[in-house]
């Protein structure tokens, strides 16, 4: 005779132990450090090889050097007036800063953290980009419509290329040795041959082009047109616009994940990120983020996107696989620049209103124990049996509990 009264209600759910699976862990995005830097930190660049971070402090004419291991400022380098753009040549361990207030570029030795040269460029230099393959640096001079070409060995200007009006940002395709400059007040993009240092094409895009990014794998260039609400897609071979993607609002920042062939664009009007399919040149998703999204950076290794939201002091985290916002991270006031060290899976954000840099280190949060976890704890094995030893033990315990309850009751049912 088996007594089941008082045990049936407990046995039924326990039978599920045999085929249960463990609950999956989730990813958290904690701010692991807040690093005080100089006045009005703006742009940020990372040398993944040395695990060092560089921040331009536009309000005081300095550059902060952050040790990526200790998350402390290891040096404060005096550069020029109103330093803005910053770029790193990891191969030579050299850092380049465009000093927008005085028409110079500071060259910093990454080993000694000292200025090894100050190069005179054009008026109001803004964006700076490096071709590490040719050891050449490019600076967009927004005040005079030129691009300065600097030899990375000699630290001298080897060419001054006339482009369009108000060139702000510049990008390089190291594979083809081609340079792209967005001319804000000309509505064009200048294409420069990196060998000849001449303009090989002037591509008409939309009104007020600002952001520019390159997918070297597909040899495609993406330009955000802030005044037209569009993104121009340029074929790097033909130097023609192959598609104009309507995104609406005022698109600004742009970043490319070459691995997935996906483009991410921040829109400061709709407070969202537009996701562009690099094959179809369509927008399969629009992800809501925070107020006034500015900078955008991609970790291709984890397929994760990070967006700074200026007006609300947060960073939105987007899962590139599901195209959904997975986290909102509170940082400092007025976050602008964002950069990723994919090697250490660490994110750096400049907070212009707080004079700090927020360090975000994604980590795994263990899930709460599921039924399978309980089975594992009881048996010491992750094997799943039809009922599982743990399930049998718990059923037996439930049956004993039912029997104990049965002794104090009348009208007990029996199954023989």
Same domain membership, residue 387 and residue 342: no
Q: Which domain holds residue 271?
A: 26-365
Structure tokens at 168: 């702000």
Mean pLDDT to the nearest integer, 17-38? 75
Q: 197: how many CB neighbours lie within 10 A of its CB?
A: 16
Number of separate domains in the chain: 2
What rounded mean pLDDT belongs to the chain? 87
Same domain membership, residue 164 and residue 122: yes
pLDDT at 100: 98
Residue 1 domain-assigned (yes or no): no
Position 397 pLDDT exceeds 80: no
Same domain membership, residue 372 and residue 354: no
Mean pLDDT to the nearest integer, 213-226? 98
pLDDT at 294: 96
Same domain membership, residue 20 and residue 162: no
Same domain membership, residue 382 and residue 320: no
Position 281 pLDDT exceeds 60: yes
Position 16 pLDDT exceeds 80: no
Residue 415 domain-assigned (yes or no): no
Instruction: Identify each DSSP E strand in 184-271 by its residue range.
Output: 188-193, 198-204, 209-215, 220-225, 230-235, 240-246, 251-257, 262-267
Structure tokens at 26: 């989730």
Burial class (CB in 10 A: 0-12, 13-18, 19+), 67: middle
Same domain membership, residue 45 and residue 19: no
Comparing 56 with 397, the larger pLDDT belongs to 56
pLDDT at 369: 56
pLDDT at 25: 64
Same domain membership, residue 379 and residue 297: no
Mean pLDDT to the nearest integer, 179-208? 98
Comparing 32 with 9, the larger pLDDT belongs to 32
Residue 2 domain-assigned (yes or no): no
Summarised one tens digit per residue, pLDDT across range 64-123 is: 999 999 999 999 999 999 999 999 999 999 999 999 999 999 999 999 999 999 999 999
Summarised one tens digit per residue, pLDDT across range 315-336 is: 999 999 999 999 999 999 999 9
Position 168 pLDDT exceeds 60: yes
Which of 25-34, 147-156, 263-272 has the least mean pLDDT? 25-34
pLDDT at 365: 66
Residue ending a domain, choose from 365, 383, 398: 365
pLDDT at 248: 87
Same domain membership, residue 58 and residue 201: yes
Position 180 pLDDT exceeds 60: yes
Q: What is the CATH number of the domain that holds 40?
A: 2.130.10.10
With the CA atoms of 331, 336, 294 and 276 taken in that order, what torsion angle do they form, in degrees rounded to the nearest 10? Answer: -80
Interacting residues of 127 by C-beta distance below 8 A, sequence separation 6+ = 84, 85, 98, 139, 140, 167, 168, 169, 170
Same domain membership, residue 102 and residue 179: yes
Q: Give dist(CA 120, CA 245) in Å, integer.
A: 38
Q: Give dist(CA 281, CA 84) in Å, integer.
A: 32
Same domain membership, residue 377 and residue 346: no
């Amino acid at each position: 005779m088996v007594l089941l009264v008082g045990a049936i209600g407990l046995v039924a759910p326990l039978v599920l132990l045999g085929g249960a699976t463990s609950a999956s862990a989730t990813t958290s995005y904690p701010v692991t450090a807040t690093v005080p830097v100089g006045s009005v930190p703006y742009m940020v660049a990372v040398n993944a090889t040395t695990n060092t971070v560089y921040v331009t402090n536009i309000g005081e004419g300095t550059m902060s050097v952050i040790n990526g291991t200790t998350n402390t400022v290891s040096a404060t380098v005096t550069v020029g007036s109103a330093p803005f753009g910053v770029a790193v040549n990891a191969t030579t361990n050299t850092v380049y800063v465009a000093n927008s207030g005085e028409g110079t570029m500071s060259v910093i030795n990454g080993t000694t953290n000292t200025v090894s040269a100050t190069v005179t460029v054009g008026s109001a230099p803004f964006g700076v980009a490096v071709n590490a393959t040719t050891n050449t640096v490019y600076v967009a001079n927004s005040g005079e419509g030129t691009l300065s070409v600097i030899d990375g060995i000699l630290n001298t200007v080897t060419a001054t290329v006339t482009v369009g009006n108000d060139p702000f940002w510049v990008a390089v395709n190291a594979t083809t040795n081609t340079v792209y400059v967005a001319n804000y007040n000309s509505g064009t993009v200048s294409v420069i041959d990196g060998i000849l240092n001449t303009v090989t094409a002037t591509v008409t895009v939309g009104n007020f082009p600002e952001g520019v990014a390159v997918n070297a794998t597909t040899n495609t260039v993406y330009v955000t047109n802030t005044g037209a609400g569009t993104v121009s897609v340029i074929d790097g071979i033909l130097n023609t616009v192959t598609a104009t993607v309507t995104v609406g609002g005022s698109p600004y920042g742009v970043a490319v994940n070459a691995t997935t062939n996906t483009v991410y664009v921040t829109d400061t009007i709709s407070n969202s990120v537009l996701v562009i399919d690099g094959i179809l040149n369509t927008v399969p998703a629009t992800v809501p983020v925070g107020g006034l999204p500015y900078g955008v950076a991609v970790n291709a290794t984890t397929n994760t996107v990070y967006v700074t939201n200026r007006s609300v002091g947060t960073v939105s985290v987007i899962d590139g696989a599901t195209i959904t916002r997975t986290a909102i991270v509170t940082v400092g006031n007025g976050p602008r620049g964002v950069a990723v060290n994919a090697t250490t899976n660490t994110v750096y954000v400049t907070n212009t209103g707080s004079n700090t840099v927020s360090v975000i280190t994604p980590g795994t949060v263990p899930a709460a124990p599921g039924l399978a976890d309980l089975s594992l704890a009881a048996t010491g094995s992750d094997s799943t049996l039809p009922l599982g030893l743990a399930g049998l033990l718990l059923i037996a315990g439930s049956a004993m509990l039912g029997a104990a309850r049965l002794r104090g009751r009348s009208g007990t049912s029996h199954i023989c």
